[in-house]
């Protein structure tokens, strides 16, 4: 029976039958003589067809598991903590993003020019709002909101913030972080009548764009009590970037254009982190066992009878402590090795102590391999995440820093579009309304009541680190001399606005003229700086040649 069953033809799967029909209909050869193809189609090997699911289905299957693993890794893994510090330091920076008003007005010749007075009022109002606690729990100021926003995106795969109008502060606006768990990924509904489709807790409009987020305060929320009953979802309007209306800002790490929600960035590192912990634990256990392995004396066979003494008799009544000690030493032979007491064991027995070469030579290469996986999965370079610059030279360090800075600029651009622009527009609208309502005592008071006239804004992020200050400044000077860039673009690189820099330079020159001295560079100083740089380059090249290396090496 078993033989007949084994010789029976295998049932053709449905997908394979569809493929055969399609090939026959098109007149193409069947192409079924490839065993690997048949095995893959029928599910016997790695079936790629089994992975053909909608992106949101993939997210729904994995989001909670990867989110929980990402939070565990973020809380316990030192390299994940280092990644968080890199995000905090380089994306938002210690003081957050510099946001400057760029409102223009017609000049004397009709050309547009910056309205310095209006810009000053708007910038002062934004600084007052963003430098104070802006969350509903009054715990986090603007720069910390930026840092938490970026960290939430990587840890949970998505970040959400709710905007609260008419909040009782000077600008009638506050923010509130929404945990990703509050939008239930298991809340799904097909569209019917006038009700839109709900996919993973997000209701879509007719164009497939998020229109309403259904939030739950219990059991995974914070108990804000917005729902009518415990655990009942309540609707929150999605922010509409076309009109500036709505309440909830949402951004995630999407891998597909049609993906609504994101997956934790640490999901691809969970297996790597587990392997690192298991291997490190095994190496540490072996090292500890090796460190505490006992020293043991083994008796020679010829003295076996002498060492095998009978059991000591009971102590006598008139026995002194010295006599008791000698008797115990005779019946339990010992030897003093410095401060350690070494016991004897019977002849014929051996003790094979564990090897002492731990950690082994394989441990450092394993850790470096893990480090490269962390760097590839998170985006920053290996040297940055692991604080290891032991084997880098000038060229590789410069190339790595440039890659990090490009990655940071990409994150900064995403932050500006997803968070800063919506918050800035909502703040401008609410603060102007508060200013007109209070006569300028709160909010900001501007000449016109239409807030759309004052939306022109510039975002200047934390500048990148100098790699070689002298060479970088010389390169910028040459670009300006060859008209390859402008002072506005150069100032923007350093997180400043050229109009402000030019005004400060003019004020400094005017003050210096009043005091009777000049701010011009001393004649010949520029040439001295250039000569000193050439000498340093020559010395570095000679040292690199002597050591067999060179700048820019791998």
| Dist CA 494 CA 460 (whole Å) | 8
* Angle, alpha carbons 111-112-116 (nearest 5°): 135
Predicted pLDDT of residue 2:
44
Predicted pLDDT of residue 552:
38
Mean local confidence (pLDDT), 463-480: 73
| Dist CA 378 CA 81 (whole Å) | 12
Label the pairing between strands 198-199 and 202-204.
antiparallel
In the structure, what pLDDT confidence band is assigned to residue 415 with cuts at 50, 70 and 90?
very high
Residue 418 vs residue 284, higher pLDDT: 418
**76 has a pLDDT exceeding 80:** yes
For 88, the enclosing helix (H) or strand (E) is none
Predicted pLDDT of residue 541:
63
Predicted pLDDT of residue 7:
45
DSSP-assigned beta bridge partners for residue 162: 176, 248
In the structure, what pLDDT confidence band is assigned to residue 228 with cuts at 50, 70 and 90?
low
In 416-497, alpha helices (H): 421-438, 469-481, 487-493
Handedness of CA 262, 268, 271, 273 (dihedral sign): negative
Handedness of CA 421, 427, 429, 432 (dihedral sign): negative
In the structure, what pLDDT confidence band is assigned to residue 135 with cuts at 50, 70 and 90?
very high
In DSSP notation, 305-370 reads HHH-PPPPPPPPTT--HHHHHHHHHHHS-EEEETTEEEEEE-TT----PPP---S-TTHHHHHHHH
- Phi, psi at 213, each rounded to 5°: -105, 130
Task: Output the six-digit token pair for 377.
Answer: 């999965």
Predicted pLDDT of residue 220:
53
Least confident range from 57-71, 183-197, 280-294: namely: 280-294
Q: How far is CA 355 from CA 290, 296, 359, in A?
A: 6, 15, 10
Residue 500 vs residue 202, higher pLDDT: 202
Q: Greatest CA separation found in the chain?
A: 121
Neighbours of 404 (CB within 10 A): 20
In the structure, what pLDDT confidence band is assigned to residue 125 with cuts at 50, 70 and 90?
very high
Listed in sequence order, the residues at least 6 apart from 314 whose beta carbon sits closer than 8 Å to its beta carbon are: none
pLDDT tens per residue, range 451-467: 888 999 888 877 666 66
Query: Highest mean pLDDT range out of 12-16, 382-386, 416-420, 524-528?
Result: 416-420
Predicted pLDDT of residue 311:
59
Query: Highest mean pLDDT range out of 139-148, 179-188, 381-390?
Result: 139-148
In the structure, what pLDDT confidence band is assigned to residue 485 with cuts at 50, 70 and 90?
confident
Question: Omega before 219 cis (within 30°)?
Answer: yes
Mean local confidence (pLDDT), 60-87: 87
| Dist CA 16 CA 42 (whole Å) | 7
**Residue 201 and residue 184 in contact, taking contact as beta carbons nearer than 8 Å:** yes
In DSSP notation, 527-547 reads HHHHHHHHHHHHHHHHHHHHT
| Dist CA 528 CA 522 (whole Å) | 10
Least confident range from 91-100, 357-366, 423-432, 479-488: namely: 357-366
Q: Please state the pTM of the whole predicted model.
A: 0.70
Residue linked to tokens 């043991």: 296
Listed in sequence order, the residues at least 6 apart from 173 whose beta carbon sits closer than 8 Å to its beta carbon are: 129, 134, 163, 164, 165, 167, 426, 427, 430, 431
Residue 34 vs residue 429, higher pLDDT: 429
Mean local confidence (pLDDT), 103-127: 87
| Dist CA 194 CA 199 (whole Å) | 16
Residue 41 vs residue 390, higher pLDDT: 390
* Helix/strand/coil for 399: helix
Q: Which of 119, 245, 209, 224 is nearest to 176 (CA)?
A: 224
């Amino acid at each position: 029976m078993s033989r007949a069953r084994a010789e029976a033809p295998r049932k053709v799967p449905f997908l394979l039958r569809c493929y055969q029909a399609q090939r026959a209909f098109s007149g193409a050869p069947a192409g079924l003589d490839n065993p690997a193809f048949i095995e893959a189609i029928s599910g016997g090997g790695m079936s790629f067809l089994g992975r053909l699911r909608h992106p949101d289905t993939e997210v729904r299957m994995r989001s909670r598991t990867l989110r929980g693993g990402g939070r565990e890794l973020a809380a316990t893994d030192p390299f994940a903590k280092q990644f968080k510090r890199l995000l905090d330091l380089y994306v938002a920076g210690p003081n957050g993003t510099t946001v400057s008003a760029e409102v223009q007005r017609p000049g004397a010749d009709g050309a547009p020019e910056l309205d310095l007075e209006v810009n000053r009022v708007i910038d002062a109002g934004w600084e007052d709002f963003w430098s104070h606690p802006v969350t509903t729990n009054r715990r986090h100021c603007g720069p910390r909101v930026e840092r938490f926003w970026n960290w939430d995106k990587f840890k949970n795969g998505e970040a959400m913030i709710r905007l609260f109008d008419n909040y009782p502060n000077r600008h009638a606006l506050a923010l509130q972080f929404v945990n990703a768990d509050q939008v239930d990924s298991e809340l799904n509904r097909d569209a019917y009548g006038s009700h839109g489709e709900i996919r993973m807790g997000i209701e879509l409009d007719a164009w497939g764009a998020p229109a309403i987020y259904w939030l739950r305060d219990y059991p995974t929320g914070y108990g804000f009590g917005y729902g009518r009953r415990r655990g009942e979802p309540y609707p929150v309007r999605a922010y509409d970037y076309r009109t500036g209306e709505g309440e909830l800002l949402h951004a995630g790490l999407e891998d597909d254009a049609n993906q609504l929600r994101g997956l934790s960035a640490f999901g691809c590192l969970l297996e790597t982190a587990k392997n690192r912990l298991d291997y490190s634990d095994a190496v540490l256990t072996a090292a500890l066992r090796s460190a505490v392995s006992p020293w043991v004396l083994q008796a020679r066979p010829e003295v076996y009878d002498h060492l095998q003494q009978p059991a000591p008799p009971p102590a006598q009544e008139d026995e002194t402590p010295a006599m008791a000690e000698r008797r115990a030493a005779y019946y339990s032979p010992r030897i003093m090795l410095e401060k350690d007491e070494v016991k004897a064991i019977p002849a014929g027995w051996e003790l094979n102590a564990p090897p002492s070469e731990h950690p082994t030579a394989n441990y450092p290469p394993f850790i470096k391999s893990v480090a490269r996986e962390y760097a590839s999965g998170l985006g920053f370079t290996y040297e940055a995440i692991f604080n290891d610059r032991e084997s880098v030279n000038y060229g590789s360090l410069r190339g790595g820093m440039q890659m990090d800075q490009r990655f940071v600029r990409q994150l900064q651009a995403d932050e500006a579009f997803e968070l800063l622009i919506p918050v800035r527009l909502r703040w401008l609208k609410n603060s102007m309304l508060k200013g007109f309502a209070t006569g300028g005592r709160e909010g900001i008071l501007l000449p016109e009541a239409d807030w759309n006239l004052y939306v022109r804004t510039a975002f200047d992020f934390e500048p990148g680190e100098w790699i070689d200050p002298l060479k970088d400044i010389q390169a910028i000077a040459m670009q300006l001399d060859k008209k390859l860039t402008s002072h506005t673009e150069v100032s923007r690189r350093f997180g400043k606005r050229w109009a402000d820099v030019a005004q400060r330079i003019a004020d400094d020159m005017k003050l210096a003229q009043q005091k009777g001295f000049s701010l011009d560079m001393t004649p010949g100083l520029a040439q001295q700086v250039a000569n000193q740089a050439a000498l340093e380059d020559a010395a570095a090249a000679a040292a690199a040649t002597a050591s067999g290396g060179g700048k820019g090496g791998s």
